[in-house]
Amino acid sequence: MQAFTVHKGLVAPMDRENVDTDAIIPKQFLKSIKRSGFGPNLFDEWRYFDVGQPGQDPAERRPNPDFVLNQPRYAGASVLLARKNFGCGSSREHAPWALEQYGFRAIIAPSFADIFFNNCFKNGLLPIQLPESVVAQLFDEVHGFPGYQLTVDLPRQVIVKGDGSEIAFEVQAFRKYCLVNGFDDIGLTLRHQDKIKAFEAERLAKMPWLNHRQVG
């Protein structure tokens, strides 16, 4: 998992409440057995006029020019600004996969659905919860200033605006530790790789029949 320390990026405003995971990555794309390739289909039903299917070439589709991520001023955005209850609906982990693979590193909103919130941390995305009034002000600034950027400093737990002012945010200590170090659940386990190997070797020495493989 990609570590998250300090990230500066262009902000894209998703000015909708209750954005569910089926909107983030529609159900037909869950057929893939791979964990990659979901970025081109992020917000698929909003980004395109035609119905998308797995494996389609995005260049052959009809983009909706009014959708925020299709507007040139937000090209390359890596910080998503959203309204309350972002990520509601089904628990599909494909939603943070699609957001991360599109290029987003942080999401700022007044509230998130619990399962989506947890899945973000496990996939290198930083969800930041701020008061609704603060988020509303950020929306005004993003709309008012083309090229609006924010710097997200996770070690210091602050968002730095272009004028140098800072917005503090809370993050649970263990989740912060995992993100800063790039540890997903597997990475956390592999910290103890030497102890695991030593345990397995000792166990096989005491119970060698466990290493027997049945043939046929």
Total Cβ atoms within 10 A of residue 64: 16
pLDDT value at residue 153: 98
Q: What is the rounded CA–CA span in Å between residue 141 and residue 161?
A: 10
Write out pLDDT tens, residues 110-169. Answer: 999 999 999 999 999 999 999 999 999 999 999 999 999 999 999 999 999 999 999 999
Break the chain into its structural domains and give their ranges: 6-181
Task: Give domain 6-181's CATH number out of 3.90.550.10, 3.40.190.10, 2.30.30.100, 3.20.19.10.
Answer: 3.20.19.10
User: Nearest to residue 82, comparing CAs of 112, 46, 117?
Assistant: 112
CB proximity list for 182: less than 8 A, separation 6 or greater: 1, 2, 3, 4, 124
How many Cα atoms occupy the beta-carbon half-sphere of 78 within 13 Å?
15
Question: Is the CB of residue 117 less than 8 Å from the CB of residue 87?
Answer: yes
pLDDT value at residue 91: 85
Which of the pair, 196 or 98, is modelled with greater confidence? Answer: 98
Total Cβ atoms within 10 A of residue 166: 13
Write out pLDDT tens, residues 3-32. Answer: 999 999 999 999 999 999 999 999 999 887
In the three-class reduction of DSSP (H, G, I as helix; E, B as strand; rest coil), residue 92 is classed as coil
In this prediction the pTM is 0.87
